[in-house]
Each structure stands twice: as C-alpha cells, then as structure tokens.
Chain A
Amino acid sequence: MSAPAPAQEFLKDKHVKFFKRCLQVLPPQYSSLDTSRMTIAFFALSGLDILDSLSEIEADRDNIINWIYSLQLLPDKQETNLDQCGFRGSSTLGNSSDPDKARKAPIPHDSGHIAMTYTALASLLILGDDLSRANKTSILAGLRKLQLQDGSFCPVPAGSENDMRFVYCASCISYILDDWAGIDMPRVLDYIQKSLSYDGAIGQGPGLESHGGSTFCAIASLFLMNQLEKIIPRKQLDRLQRWCILRQESGFQGRPNKPVDTCYSFWVGATLEILGIYDKTDFHCNRSFVLQTQDDIVGGFAKWPGHTPDALHAYFGVCGLSLLGEPGLKTLHPALNMTQRSVDHLETLHRKWRGQS
C-alpha cells in the first residue's frame, strides 16, 4: 500500500492560536514592522473574525480598543494640526498612550499614516466599536492633505511614495466614515483610469506594469465609490476579467510568469468576486495550494509551501479560503476586506449617523 497523501485539513484551531500570538508578542523577524504594528493587529483581529473566534480575545477587547484610540492623532485646541491627523502605526515615535496627554504635549513630526488610519478604523469596527471616539473631521482633513495633483495619495503628510495602495486606503476610510469629502473624486478617477494597462489590468500608477495587488486596490476602490461601470466600460472589464482569470495556475500569481503565492488567492480572488465571476475559477486547486502553505505546527500560512508563515500571508490565506466557502469561516466582504458581519455592523452605524444628521 502506498502512503496516504498528506491530509489537506484546514487547521482552524492552530490559526486561532497563531493570530492570538500576533496580538501578544512577535518574533524578532517582525522588528522591521514595528512602525506599522497597527496593520499586524488588523491582520490578527480580522483573521480571528473570519475564523469566527473573536470570543477568544473578549477579555482584552476594551484594552485593544483603547490602544487603537491611543494611536489617533487628535487636533490641538486651535486646530492648527488638522493636516497631520489620522492614526499612527505605533507609539514608536514616543507619543503618550493617553490621548489627552498626547494632545496636550504634541511631539514634532508626529502624524497619521493612511494605511494605519484605514486598518485602525477597520479593526475598531471588527471589535464592535461604534467609532464615536474617531475624530471624523480631522481624519478627513488629514486625508485631503494626502491627495496629490495627479489624483493619487501618499501615506504621510511629510511626503513619501504615492500609488494605488493608498488610493485604496483612502477609499476604505471614506466608505467607513460615510463621507467622501476627503477625496477629490474626478482627480482620483482620472488616476485610476490612466493606470489601466495594455493587457487589461491595472498598475500602481499611470504607465506602470499591471499587478494583481494594484488591480485589486483600483477595482475595490471603484466598487466602494460606486463608479466601477462608469470608469471601466464593458469591453475593458472583459479584458480585465480575462487577465485575472488567467492568473490561476494552481493558486494565483500576482503577475504573469511569477510563482503562485498565497496572498493572491485573496488579491486576485477578491477582484474576481467583485467582478462577479469568481465562481469561474478552479476552487479545488486553489484550496489545495493554499493548504500546502499552511503551517501545521504553529498555524498560519506562508507565501510558498515549506516556508515560514507570517501575519500577512496567514491573514490572506484565511481570506482566500473564506472566498472559497471553507466551512466554519465567516463570509468576507471582498471590497472592504473584512467579514460581512463587521460590514453589517458598519451599515447599522451608517443608518444611525444618517438618521441623526
């Protein structure tokens, strides 16, 4: 008798433990991510949410919410620092963890970061918070400051690279806050349109090579703006679908002729889900590849089979499986990149806010 094929079992409990560890202590390999601790927390929290296991951290819930709010840079009394506002990635810069103290004793060069603001707001929603302590006016003022002449966004007011990733963050922030006043819409739409490439997919910016990640960022942004079919006519959508569908080899690759990688089961998978044709892909092979990258000792997923798992790939591995309808996993909202349960909570908040105003 030949040896049985290795079991392709989804080890839910191990992943729950993996994400819980991410919230507590991280190995030294993560030190380069110290300045963006917020994103790691988001991966862990949203991961636990998809695994339907938020109850595991119930005791720490309030602490985590307070920690996230401590990362918010609030306006000073005279509102001279509105441009800087948003959420920081961590307290590395040395701001006080008490929001009031931090407000009274500002430290120079302190500012929000667009990806941290997005993941902070998303994490708060996942934890069931009502965003009542999020200072919307200043977050939107901070956002406005980050949009460049070409329509794209950079992550920090002090300047940095600018591309489609931050357009996506800006879209999520605006959607969550139910207010698009922080974005100059015609300019950002122009940027996205100019980033369409000859092969039908979308690059990080105009003239740049198509990529699964930037394609997701652009398509999800257009979807959240309710502008998808206005910006990309049918025939271009057909070509885009073809490019995305052809990215499947077993799992998905991010660009033609590149190796398949766990995270693209989400980036490309979610794009196809938004475009309504995810069911045209090969679920069986995709699931099989993602599970090959599962670490059956410590939990989590890696980029490739046999490699060390990390928070990002663990999260997107779980997302990919949720898109495939893995039993025991909660449904994912493909554009907002969080569970439908959390999005339902957001919709309830939106109705409340709209009723009040």
Chain B
Amino acid sequence: MHGRLKVKSTEEQKEAKRIEQEKKLKLYTAATEEAFRKRKDGEYDDEALKVSGEILYRNSDFSTMWNFRKEIFLHMNDNKNEDELQELFDSELDFLEACLKYNPKSYGTWHHRCFVLDTMPRPDWEKELKLCNLFLQYDERNFHCWDYRRFIVKRSQVTPEAELEFTTNKISSNFSNYSSWHYRSKLLPFIHPDPSSPAGVKEDILLQEYEMVQNAFFTDPDDQSAWFYYRWLLGRGKKTVGINCVCCDKIHSKIIVSTTEPVLVPDTVELKVEVDGSHMPMTWRTASNNIGYSNLWISDIPEDFKISGSCTLTLTLGGSSTSCSCELLLQDDSTEECYFHKDTPAIWFRSELSAAATTTLKRELDSVKELHEMEPENKWVLLTSISLMKSLDSHSYEDTIMDELKTLETIDSHRTSYYRDLRSKYLTENILERTDLSKRCLRLRDVGLTVFYHAKLLPLLVELDLSNNRLTSLRDVRHIYCLQRLCVDDNQISKLQGLESIVHLKEISIRNNEIKREEEFQFLRKCPLVVVNIAGNPVCDSVNVNSVLRNILTGLKKIDDIKIS
C-alpha cells in the first residue's frame, strides 16, 4: 500500500477504475465469506484451497486466511498418499512463488512457505536455494528472503562454507550489499572460531578479510557497508575489571566504589566488604538508582554495624573472570578514608595491544591514511582513521585525532554536535590519563567541552574546574560524591539539576552562564554551601539573588566575593 506514485487520471479513467474496483471488492467479499463458511463447516477440500488462494494472492497480510490454508493442508496430509501430497505441495510452492512475485515482502507468504517445506514429504532444498538466489537478484536487500535463506540452510545440508562463498560472490558483484556483509559476520565466527579474539574469528582469516574489505572501500569509499564490517573486524577485546577507587564516608555512613569497567552488581560481579575480618552486609545501588551496568556503586553502612576505633576495611570484587581486593585503614578520629588503585588511570580507555596486533593496526592505519590522501573529505575514512589511532595511541595521535574530528564537524554537518561530543570525550580521556587523581583535583578548563564525560570514574574528586567550556548541563556532576569545590564559570548552563545530591559541596562558582529561573536554586538546597558565585546570569537581572540564596542556604558566608553580614 505504501509508496504509490501519484498519477493524474482523466474523469473517464477514474470512472472505469471505480467500476472495476467495485467489481473486485464484491468478488473479494464473496470469496472471504465463502472461505469462512467452508472453515466453519470443516470443508477442507480443493475448492477451499482455490477460494483462500484467490484472497491471499491479493491480500497476503490476511493471517487468519493463511491459518485456514494451513489447516487444509494438515487435513489433506492425513488423507492422501505420499505421491499425491508431493504433487499438492509442489503446486502450493508454485502458488507461493506467484504470490511472492506480486508482493515479495509479505511476512505471511514467506512464513507459509516455511510451513510447506517443513510439512511436505520430499522437500527440494536445492530448488529453494535457487529461489532465494532469484529473489535476491530482484532485490538484494530483501530481508525476508535473506531470513528464508537462513531457514533453508538450517534445515538442509548446505554447508556454512558454501554460504560464505555465496556472500563472497554477492559482494564481488556489488560491494555495497550490506546484507551480505551482515551474513558474513555471522558465518565467519562459526566456520573459523577463535573465542580469544574480539570478533571471535581466527587471526589468519581476519587478515584475509582485511584484504577483501579494503578492496571494497578503496573501490567505493562512500559506501558504508564495508566500513561497518571493517570496524567490527578491528574490534578490540574486553578489558578486565578492577577496582578504581573506594571511599568510606563515616559521617554519612556510606561506601562508594568505582570500578574500571561498568559492572552489574550482583549479576556480573560481587562486591564484598569485611571489617576486621567480619562480613558487612551491603545493599549496592547505582548512583542514579537505575537498574543496569555502572562504574559507580553506593551502599549504606548498615545501621546496626558499628565501625568504631581503628579498623581495617577490606573490599573484594569477584566475578567469573576477575577477582581483586583492596584495604582501607580507618582511623578512629577520621571522617573519611579513600583508596586509589596505584595504576589508575594510565590506560583506562585503551586495551593493551600485543606486538602482533599493533603491527596489524599500524598497517591498516597506513592504508586508511593512503585513502585519506586521495579522499580528504570522506567521512567514513576519517571515522575509521580516528578509531584506529585511538586504539593505537590516543596520546601521540592526539592532535591528528582532534583535527580530523574538526574536519568531520564541517564535512558532515548532520552530525556536528555528535562529533563535538566525541571530541569532548576523547580529550577528557587523554587528560584523565595524564592526571594524578590521588591529588583529588581536576582541571578541565578552556578545552571546548560540550559534555562532561566519565564522572562515574571520579567520585573522589574534591575540586573540579570546568570553567570556560561549552557545557549546557551539570547532570553528570552528581556522580562526584566527594566534591567540595566546583567551578563552572563561563559555560552555557541553564539548569542546576545534578547538584541536588552532592552532600559535601561547599563552594560553587557558576558565573556567566544561562540560569534564568530562580527555581533552579532549589537544586542547591541540600548542599552545605558556604560560597556561591552567581554574577553574570540572566536570573540576576530579574530577582534579588542575594535574598533568594540566603533563604535557601542558611550556612552561606559569601556571595560573589562579598561577605554576608
């Protein structure tokens, strides 16, 4: 019904068409009624096949009618001999082929064909495969036909190797056949499995695939099929999970844990806490209270569990493939103890590469760069080049990566904001890897950030400077549990949501932003704020900010550098 081209017709044509359609409708309605009568009366005969067939040929979405047809065949299946049945089903396959030529994208018709093949005495799988070839010639992206093909392969003796060969041929005749590349991604790990590699495919086979896919994108660099497939081949492995940092906040009776990779507690890993050797029952939740993977987990210390005097707190993270633990020495008089893993965050955002993998990636990068020389404004080339450089060494390639993202912003204007966010992310990752976070202070000022990433890795920061960027939201700051001093001067922030749960926040500087409504200050209600800088926001022109803030924040000592008397 969709996608009919508009055609202008004369009055005469219209009238003729109307009469013809009326006639068709009458026949259609009569046939439907007759079919239902026969089904009701249990008349599972040739006539029933004829009537239901007439309807289904025109309207293959009529699932009830297909079910009637199925019943007729099941009835005949019990009442005819094998040869009769074979002949009957053969003619049904011819009928279905005609239906498919009329509407090649009907779920009902393809589904019924599966039923016929599963029911008939001697299915000819070879013939079915040829039918698929034919329909994929008409439309190489018809996913109904691809799905049917996979059904045939599952049922018959067709080898996966033969199917791989089929995709090779399809791809050689047209590189842009996304469906063929997709099928290949399913076949390769099955034929040449290597569970230790990220794509699940043996190394020597991967090398062959690189060559094939390069042929494709050197021939037509604008075609995305090969690029998606290539990206999959180049995928890096999973990293092991470790403890990034831990904080025990005795005042608020909370334990905060950040892991190097997102985990699901307790489904994928267990987090156990012992105090001087005795088990402390915890109820872990994510910072945002969502059900799901997270780097950041929080639990209350149980009320009846007294931590007094000096003691040792041991936290163990255990999963199917990892197990690690850390210790915190809690002093009697301290309010808070923290733990930082000694190696963090040097390689948080990359997988360690073997020498062989490095050689491969370097060689692939060389080819992509070569293509980039010829096609400097091709977005797929740039996207892939950035991904490769990032896997190899995000620091030494930093300038090139940033330049290429800048180019993408210009040449692919539909996705400008997306590339700006990517740039923010990659830049933050590099800065984090170069920062000694045990100092609990991070400066990310004046680097053009549009989004603040990776807050879940930074719960122990006490001081954060995000001034002079292009941030519009503080949503993610809420993950920085220990934050006391925050500076976000000179951004485009209009909302203060995100600050409501930072129970340690003493100083905030939010000058020259876009805060317009005084209601936003309600998000600061629970913060023990002593210093607030708010000048240069539209809200300052419309309300008396001083009195509003003093009403909400009783401990306030200074607003915009002026002491409150």
Contacts and interface: CB of A to CB of B under 8 A. Distances in A.
Nearest to A258: B141
A198 B418 CA distance: 21
Interface in A200-244: 204, 207-211, 226-230, 233-235, 243
Interface string B171-209: 000001011001101100000000000010000000000
B1 A29 contact: yes
A105 interface: no
Interface in A32-52: 32-36
A28 interface: yes
A199 B228 contact: yes
A80 to B, nearest CB: 19
B107 A161 contact: yes
Q: Which secondary structure dominates where chain A touches chain B?
A: loop
Contacts of A211: 143
B63 A160 contact: yes
B2 interface: yes
A256 B58 contact: no
B5 A308 contact: yes
A93 B4 contact: no
Residue with the highest number of chain B CB atoms closer than 10 Å, among A161, A197, A210: A161
B449 to A, nearest CB: 15
A230 B264 contact: yes
B143 A109 contact: no
A256 B110 CA distance: 24
Interface in B59-90: 59-64, 66-68, 70
B413 interface: yes
Contact of B182 (A197, A281, A308): A197
Contacts of A160: 63, 66-67, 107-108, 111
A310 B39 contact: no
A248 B417 CA distance: 13
Contact of B40 (A107, A197, A243): A107
A98 interface: no
Contacts of B68: 109
Contact of B224 (A34, A35, A256): A256
B21 interface: yes
A116 B110 CA distance: 22
A36 B61 contact: yes
Interface stretch (A16-24, A120-128, A298-306, A340-348): A298-306
B24 to A, nearest CB: 8
Contact of A304 (B3, B21, B66): B3
A249 B262 CA distance: 33
A280 B267 CA distance: 33
Given A31-B28, A257-B223, A313 B2 contact: yes
Given A207-B186, A209-B143, A255-B178, A108 B61 contact: no
Contacts of B60: 32
B14 interface: no
Nearest to A312: B2
Contacts of A36: 61
Contacts of A197: 182, 185
B293 A230 contact: yes
Given A31-B59, A234-B262, A108 B141 contact: no
B91 to A, nearest CB: 23
Given A35-B63, A158-B67, A313-B2, A248 B415 contact: yes
Given A160-B66, A256-B224, A310-B1, A282 B36 contact: no
Interface string B108-143: 101100000000000000000000000000000101
A142 interface: no
A307 interface: yes
Contacts of B108: 160-161
B414 interface: yes
Nearest to B33: A94
Residue with the highest number of chain B CB atoms closer than 10 Å, among A204, A246, A248: A246
A209 B68 CA distance: 31
Interface string B286-303: 000011111000000000
A179 interface: no
B430 interface: no
Contacts of A158: 64, 67
Given A199-B228, A229-B290, A32 B59 contact: yes
Contacts of B185: 197-199
Interface in B305-357: none
Interface residues of B, number: 64
A91 B292 CA distance: 44
B414 A233 contact: no
Contacts of B4: 29, 307-308
B232 to A, nearest CB: 4
Contacts of A226: 290-291
B6 A307 contact: yes
A173 B413 CA distance: 39
A132 interface: no
Residue with the highest number of chain B CB atoms closer than 10 Å, among A30, A32, A155, A228: A32
Interface in A168-203: 197-199
Contact of A35 (B28, B62, B143): B62
Nearest to A308: B4
A256 B178 contact: yes
A233 B241 CA distance: 14
Contact of A257 (B143, B199, B224): B224
A11 interface: no
Contact of B3 (A34, A246, A307): A307
A255 B415 CA distance: 17
Contact of A199 (B110, B232, B418): B232
Given A197-B185, A230-B264, A233-B262, A209 B179 contact: yes
A108 B150 contact: no
A82 interface: no
B323 to A, nearest CB: 20
A235 to B, nearest CB: 8
B146 interface: yes
A355 interface: no
A38 B178 CA distance: 35
Interface string B1-29: 11111100000000000000100110010
Given A32-B58, A257-B176, A257-B224, A282 B415 contact: yes
A28 to B, nearest CB: 5
A76 interface: no
B1 A35 contact: no
B178 A109 contact: no
A310 B2 contact: yes
A198 B414 contact: no
A208 B143 contact: yes
Interface of A: 28-36, 92-94, 107-109, 113, 155-156, 158-161, 197-199, 204, 207-211, 226-230, 233-235, 243, 245-246, 248-249, 255-258, 277, 279-282, 285, 302-304, 306-308, 310, 312-313
Q: Closest 5 interchain pairs by CB? A: A229-B292, A198-B185, A282-B414, A32-B59, A230-B292
20 contacts: A29-B1, A92-B32, A160-B63, A161-B107, A197-B185, A198-B229, A208-B143, A209-B143, A211-B143, A226-B290, A230-B264, A234-B293, A249-B414, A256-B225, A257-B223, A277-B418, A306-B6, A307-B6, A308-B4, A308-B6
Given A160-B66, A257-B176, A257-B223, 12 more contacts: A31-B59, A35-B63, A107-B40, A158-B64, A199-B229, A204-B143, A204-B147, A209-B183, A230-B264, A257-B178, A258-B141, A310-B2
